Amino acid sequence: MNTRKDSISVFGAGSWGTALAVLLSRNGSPVTLWCRNSTQAQTMQQQRNNARYLPDTPFPESLRITADLGEAVRVSQELLVVVPSHSFRAVVQDIAGAMRQGQRLAWATKGFESHTGLLLHDVVAEVVHKNLCTAVVSGPTFAVEVAKGLPTAVTVASEFDEFASDLAQRLHDDTFRAYTSQDIIGVEVGGCVKNVLAIAAGIADGLGFGANTRAALITRGLVEVMRLGLALGGRQETFMGLAGLGDLVLTCTDDLSRNRRLGLAMGRGASLQQALASIDQVVEGVQAAKEVRSVAQRMSVEMPITEQVYDVLYNAKLPRDAVHDLLAREQKSETLI
């Protein structure tokens, strides 16, 4: 099969990968969506939708589905990875084995890598090579709203300005706005830490603590994002933008967020296992809490909200006790970092 310069392959047929594939296809790009499960891929190709994640979103004619990863790499110059962070390295390794010179790689996955605490651009540099043209897509997005064509804005970050501009142009339409940035680190940190803080906001709401508490958690949570992001090399202005504050507010305040829903369930008395079972999808904040805490400790960055979320998830700390311990911290001046 010949490669088309205007085509793009999306790797990962979950809700977000499917929504981005539909968006890109609607915007005029020939799109190949890779699905790991061959039976699921065949069903989606025949039914022309993703019945599990986005059943009410029909596929455009220019969107095709395959379970052949090598084929998905071959047919496009642009490659976009949208898989959970715990499987990111393995998928990128498989892609790297089929890549050729001149292809460009982007990802819309959020999170630190499990067990290593690496940001995903560092994983790509290890797996492929440091001179690869790369970009990351992040921001305040729910897949179902993007699939419905509701107004949305994201950030496309890359050290390669031409790639950022090209990818943003592909995504951009009347209801989807894509801004560009050069701050890959800041965009990646914002997209990861917000999941942990959304669990905290959900716990507080599940305990019935109200809007005042939620606003305080979001505000102080942003400080934690900035502390860690700056320590890792991100830019302060990034954390006040879509990939920082924007994504944090969205994830902490709306029940479409799986991380917030997990916190709500635990605040209302459910165990972690019960909360995960009720959601029945990957909840990135659970693993992120472990990785963010580890990176913060390594960098000597104070992140008290993250620490309490970790204790609730992994040390069986009662949610009410976690909130009490946050409120009992020593009085101090408010600082932004």
Phi, psi (rounded to 5 degrees) for 11: -110, 110
Task: Say if residue 201's pLDDT is above 70.
Answer: yes
pTM of the model: 0.94
Q: Please give the pLDDT value at position 4.
A: 58
* Active-site annotation holds for 194: yes
Answer whether residue 88 shows pLDDT above 90: yes
State the residue for tokens 């940035």: 181
Residue 337's pLDDT is 67
Q: How many CB atoms lie within 10 A of CB 180?
A: 17
The arithmetic mean of pLDDT across residues 308-323, rounded, is: 96
The average pLDDT across 203-212 equals 96
Mapped onto helix, strand or coil, the DSSP state of residue 57 is: coil
Residue 294 has pLDDT above 70, yes or no: yes
Average pLDDT over residues 15-24: 98
Q: Report pLDDT digits (tens) over 124-179.
A: 999 997 689 999 999 999 999 999 999 999 999 999 999 999 999 999 999 999 99
Residue 328's pLDDT band, with cuts at 50, 70 and 90, is confident
Which residue is catalytic, options 110, 130, 148, 194? Answer: 194
Cα dihedral across residues 47, 50, 55, 59: positive or negative? negative
Neighbours of 4 (CB within 10 A): 13
Average pLDDT, the chain: 95
Q: Starting from the edge strand earliest in sequence, which strands make up the sheet with 134-138, in order?
A: 63-66, 31-34, 4-11, 76-81, 104-107, 134-138, 152-157, 176-181
**Residue-level pLDDT at 82:** 98
Res 1: pLDDT: 44
What domains lie within the chain, and their CATH numbers? 6-182 (3.40.50.720), 186-327 (1.10.1040.10)
CA 144 and chain centroid, separation: 14
Check: CB of residue 146 under 8 Å from CB of residue 20: yes
pLDDT, tens digit, 9 for 90 and up, residues 215-270: 999 999 999 999 999 999 999 999 999 999 999 999 999 999 999 999 999 999 99
Segment 89-94 mean pLDDT: 97
Q: What is the three-class DSSP state of 336?
A: coil
